[in-house]
Amino acid sequence: MLTRKGKYGLKALLHLGGLAPGQSAPVSEIAETNNISKKFLDGIMAELRNAGFVNSRYGREGGFSLSRPGKDIMVGHVIRVLDGPLSPIPCASKAYYQTCDDCEDEKTCQVRLVMLEVRNAIAGILDNMSVEQMRKIGGPSGVAKVARAASARARVKA
């Protein structure tokens, strides 16, 4: 299940993906535009920066920006960084595999076999969807929100 941390991290990346090249957004703008607690988002943005998804600048013109084009940031990778494995159970995970204490034969365990299918379906979608592709799913309303926030920020600076 996607946690709030993962969801908010994706919302922040979608917000940044809507900015013009070279433009950045302060965390307060991202938080306000997306109805996220600024304090919670501060920690998420630090994790995204440490994982190499975003860059940060300090000062009056500071804020966050994507570290590379949105087409090069895969949703599955972001979720793994923020939330851990995509698999519903540890024995079905590829990157975070752990054996189960209660399983006699992993190769024939029906629960594991079904959860492997679930994991593969989830990974098949999320590992092949970029932040840029995800932005297009929401249509113009998401783009309009980011544009309004950027416009408001420009008015404040003027």
By the 8 A CB rule, do 126 and 86 touch? yes
* Residues forming CATH 1.10.10.10 domain(s) in the chain: 1-73+131-158
What does the pLDDT look like over 73-131, one tens digit per residue?
999 999 999 999 998 888 888 888 888 888 888 888 999 999 999 999 999 999 999 99
By the 8 A CB rule, do 70 and 131 touch? yes
**pTM, 2 dp:** 0.82
User: How many alpha carbons fall within 13 Å on the CB side of residue 113?
Assistant: 6
CATH number assigned to the domain with residue range 1-73+131-158, chosen from the 4 options 1.10.10.10, 3.40.50.300, 3.10.129.10, 3.90.1300.10: 1.10.10.10
